[in-house]
Amino acid sequence: MRSIAAKLWLTMVLLVALVLGLLGLTQAKAIKWTYYRLEAHRMVAETEELAGLLASGASPQAVGERVAFLSRVFRATVLVVDASGRVQHCRGMGPRRRFWEGAVISGEDVAAVLAGKTICREGELPLFQGVRLLWVGVPIRSGNAVTGGVFIYAPLAPLEARVRGLEVTLVAALLGGAALAGLLSLFVARHFSQRLVAMEKVAEAMAAGDYAARAVVTGQDEVARLAVSLNKLAAELEKRIAELKRMDAARRDFVAAVSHELRTPLSIIQGYTEAILDGMVTPEEMKLYLDTIREEVERLKRLTDELLDLRRLETGAIKIRQEKLDLGEIASQVAARFQAAPEASKLHFHVEVSPRSLVLGDKDRLEQVIINLLDNAFRFTPAGGSVTLRVESAPEEVVLTVQDTGPGIPPEELPYIWEKFYRSDKARARTTGGSGLGLAIVKQIVELHGGRVEVQSRPGEGSTFKVTLPAAK
Ligand SMILES: Nc1ncnc2c1ncn2[C@@H]1O[C@H](COP(=O)(O)OP(=O)(O)O)[C@@H](O)[C@H]1O
Ligand SMILES: [Mg+2]
């Protein structure tokens, strides 16, 4: 048997059959017993009444009528004897001739009744050969003395027929109940197994690489909890696989971007070198070409340096030192270098540093962060604009911001600027010398310091880069 539903169903049906069978058996017994007892009670009651009638000295005619009546009602033989066992009245079916009036009868039952006992028995008697009987005997009393006895011998056949009728009804009801239970349990089992089958489908979908499939959770039972776990597993797998795919794509993009970055300077170098080797250039041109070649070589060197640096930061090959530093002080030092540069003169450069902005970190790396941010700000802000460097200290964190009045960054580009090689305008960026790695390095360094980077920018209104680091205690 391969299906859980079938197993469940069979178990339930067997159980129901067992319970109903036991119930049927005991109920049939109980019905029979109750029925016989009721009948016996009635017979005893009627017999006692007749005995009372006899004890009160009623006329033989009245007694005879009563006897005839009882014989009819119970379809039984009714017998009245006196204290010596002599038959006074006898009416009824069967071997009545054996009890003709005036005969003396004896036996265990007669003796018991004449001794003052009421009897009530079931079985066969030699007098009524082959007929199963229910019979009662009641003494007739006059004061303390027993003056005779009254007996009713009723055949069991009509009673048995009625009991059998009831038993048939009972069996029919039980069979009906069993069938209904079987049907119901079929639904329950199917419902149960359908949920399992649904989960199996989800598992198979996952095995086939579809991690978006989810099982429907109904209720809170174990099956529902299993479904919840399965869904959790699917969600987790979906997340991890997506992550893996993303990483794989990033790696491929990275290789493509690096080759792309290398191709332009290399072909420039190649072109100029060939021109020089051709010997067709004037000494002035030669000087110009060689300058260009040196520039491109420097750019290549910077690019590879930055790449290696970023790689080491990303793989954790570089240890970030954990010294207590004043970020404000570092910012002021870097700012001084920028102020000394010739480009600074065409911009308004403000530095606002709050004292004792202590952080735990690596001085060279934090300098690199500030240099990269200021370099961008200076490079992207046109003459006449302004650049502001701020370091603010809060109890829990130190915030460094670099704000400029440059062109700003379009909102759709904002999420990408921290990525390697991302430059909003490739052509312009190339001529302005950026490799597109600066912000990726900034982000990596800040995160290695347990901090975070944010940017706010609107095209035409400038940009604000914000670095938040945990404050040192
Ligand atoms: N201050 C800024 N104003 C406008 N755009 C900026 C600014 N800083 C960065 N960007 C944008 O983010 C890109 C990535 O910056 P970065 O990683 O430093 O690379 P790079 O400086 O080599 O171009 C830049 O090319 C530019 O498009
Ligand atoms: Mg840069």
- Domains of the chain, by residue range, sit at 4-162, 211-318, 320-470
Chain segment 224-262, per-residue pLDDT in tens: 899 999 999 999 999 999 999 988 998 888 888 888 888
Task: Give which of 440, 469, 323 is closest to 372, Cα–Cα.
Answer: 440
pLDDT at 143: 84
Q: Whose CA is nearest to atom 9 of ligand 1?
A: 376
Decide if 52 contacts 144 (C-beta within 8 A): no
What is the CATH number that goes with domain 4-162?
3.30.450.20
Topology adopted by domain 320-470? Heat Shock Protein 90 (3.30.565)
Average pLDDT over residues 280-294: 92
Q: Whose CA is nearest to atom 21 of ligand 1?
A: 434
Q: Which of 34-38, 40-44, 102-106, 330-334 has the lowest mean pLDDT?
A: 102-106
**Percentage of residues in the chain having pLDDT higher than 70:** 96
Q: Is 392 helix (H, G, I), strand (E, B) or coil?
A: strand
What distance in angstroms lies between residue 422's CA and the mean position of ligand 1's atoms?
A: 8
Decide if 185 contacts 16 (C-beta within 8 A): yes
In CATH, the architecture of 211-318 is Orthogonal Bundle (1.10)
pLDDT at 250: 81
Ligand 1 atom at minimal distance to the Cα of residue 462: 3
238 Cβ contact partners less than 8 Å away, ≥ 6 residues apart:
211, 212
Residue 222 has pLDDT above 50, yes or no: yes
Q: Return the C-alpha torsion angle 352, 353, 354, 356, nearest 10.
A: 180
Pocket of ligand 1 (CB under 6 A): 372, 376-377, 380, 404, 406-407, 409, 417, 422-424, 429, 434-440, 463
Chain segment 338-366, per-residue pLDDT in tens: 998 887 788 999 999 998 899 999 999 99
